[in-house]
Amino acid sequence: MSKRKSKLGASDNIWGYLFITPQIVGLLAFTLFPVATSVYLCFLQWDFTSQAEFVGLENFNTIFQEELFTKSIVNTFLIVLGVVPLTVLVSLALALLTTGKMRGLAVYKSALFLPMVTSSAAVILVWYWIYAPEIGLLNYFLEQLGIGGPQWLTETFWARAAIVLMLTWQGMGYYYIIFLAGLKGIPHDYYEAANIDGASAFQKFFKITLPLLSPTTFFIVVTMLISGFNAFQEPFILTKGGPNFSTYNIVMYVYDLAFRYFRMGEAAVVSVVMVLIIGIVTYIQFRFSKRWVTYLD
């Protein structure tokens, strides 16, 4: 019996490795090897054409002193700190309003999710026009409401706001659907028990819904932060990083250093710093999550 089992085990091992081979090749060649190379590039001075030169920590010194380095990190954080709360607010509010049985929900879902599916350069062009100062639609609508619209895209604060609004528009449907699924997962008995105890809607929301939804909220915040850090085409097409580099983020900085100025070493340093920041922020969230995330089991 044991002999037979070990033979079966051996064939399982062979089949297992065979099945994962293509993906393992990809994992090594197109993820792990490039990451290791990027770390190595941090210590080289190289313009892509001439001989690379080992320079130790010099790239770190140069880049940390560049104004754009700090600026791009601050901008990234500012935009992420705008997008995350706004998107959570909108998508959670919509999910709470539409939880349970509701007519037309399927249609609402697909309409809200449309921006995510078509998040391409083409749609950013449409936004470019919506934000246009004189003939833009947004300012026209604001004017109808009696509000004088700002100079979107050309004033520091409003350019960032424009990116935040567009990213929120893009993501709200996706996170709405996830929130809706999370709400569905909360067992009904909790509300029934609360009803018997005569709890108010307010109490039910803060004592049952919010705590039991916290794993979903946590997942959403973590995902959204990571995707916010990676935003590239939105600022690249909408504002080109301007005005005065106010929407210039870390990814744009890496792209420019590497593919416009051919400062490969410094570009690698910034990309490594970016990954470290994402890692640290995610780690802090996991540590901090124990205080506010409630798991049912």
| 3-state DSSP percent of the chain in helix, strand and coil, to 5 | 75, 0, 25
- Between residues 41 and 159, which has the closer beta carbon with respect to other proteins? 41
Distance, CA of 65 to CA of 70 (rounded, Å): 8
SS3 of residue 102 by DSSP? coil
The minimum distance between CB 240 and other proteins, in angstroms, equals: 10
The minimum distance between CB 194 and other proteins, in angstroms, equals: 12
The minimum distance between CB 254 and other proteins, in angstroms, equals: 5
Distance, CA of 120 to CA of 136 (rounded, Å): 20
DSSP character at residue 45? E
> Measuring CA to CA, which residue among 277, 270, 272 is closest to residue 248?
270
- Between residues 119 and 246, which has the closer beta carbon with respect to other proteins? 119
262 Cβ contact partners less than 8 Å away, ≥ 6 residues apart? 47, 48, 49
- Length of the chain (residues): 297
- Between residues 66 and 256, which has the closer beta carbon with respect to other proteins? 256
- Between residues 101 and 290, which has the closer beta carbon with respect to other proteins? 101
Using only C-alpha atoms, what is the Rg of the chain? 25
The minimum distance between CB 234 and other proteins, in angstroms, equals: 10
Chain-centre distance for alpha carbon 183: 22
- Between residues 35 and 193, which has the closer beta carbon with respect to other proteins? 35
Distance, CA of 141 to CA of 230 (rounded, Å): 31
The minimum distance between CB 131 and other proteins, in angstroms, equals: 11
The minimum distance between CB 230 and other proteins, in angstroms, equals: 5
- Between residues 9 and 148, which has the closer beta carbon with respect to other proteins? 9
The minimum distance between CB 117 and other proteins, in angstroms, equals: 5
- Between residues 246 and 266, which has the closer beta carbon with respect to other proteins? 266
- Between residues 48 and 54, which has the closer beta carbon with respect to other proteins? 48
Instruction: State both tokens at 192.
Output: 């029934």
Chain-centre distance for alpha carbon 44: 30
- The end-to-end CA distance of the chain, in Å, is 38
The minimum distance between CB 148 and other proteins, in angstroms, equals: 15
Distance, CA of 180 to CA of 213 (rounded, Å): 10
Q: Is the peptide bond before 215 cis (omega within 30 degrees of 0)?
A: no
